[in-house]
Amino acid sequence: MDLADLIGPDRVVFAARASSKQQLLQELASRAATLLNLDARAIFNSVQAREELGSTGLGNGFALPHARVEGLDRLFGLFTRLNRPIHFDSIDGKPVDLVFLLLIPPTAGSEHLGALAAVARLLRDQEFAARLRKAASATALCDLLCNPQHS
């Protein structure tokens, strides 16, 4: 799975501000809803319901919130780097500053598992995560994510 299939320049947020996990998820849902022409509340409710099953904070400052969303016809990704880490109930208890939202069509089979694995593998790489944290702009973040082997 190539991250360039999931995100683009309009799906990368640089130095986002959020004071809580809920506020961040609401902001991500709102941005996704605008790009997808879907209901922000429905997206937020789906993502929140998934979080209630167990935190998607995977450790090392990285979270991968994801959910199936009605009305979606293909996988959708949105990456955010926060200006200040927030508490996310991560498995290692550390705050999160790198967040990749993955929205999944209700009819998706197992292809979303490949997308989840690809994103998790990339962002769990501490050297790669350090490069994301040092990127100077949304464009630089997008370039890193879409071409990780060339960065």
- CA-based end-to-end distance of the chain: 18
**H or E stretch including 59?**
strand 57-59
Q: How many C-beta neighbours within 10 Å does residue 1 have?
A: 17
Position 2, amino acid = D
Strand pairing of 12-16 and 76-86?
A: parallel
Q: Which of 66, 87, 112, 150 is catalytic?
A: 66
Q: Could you give the angle at which helices 126-134 and 111-124 cross, rounded to 10 degrees?
A: 80
How many Å apart are CA 8 and CA 113, to the nearest integer? 20
Closest C-alpha among 103, 72, 106, 79 to residue 4: 79
Residue 66 a catalytic site member: yes
Task: Just list the catalytic residues.
Answer: 66
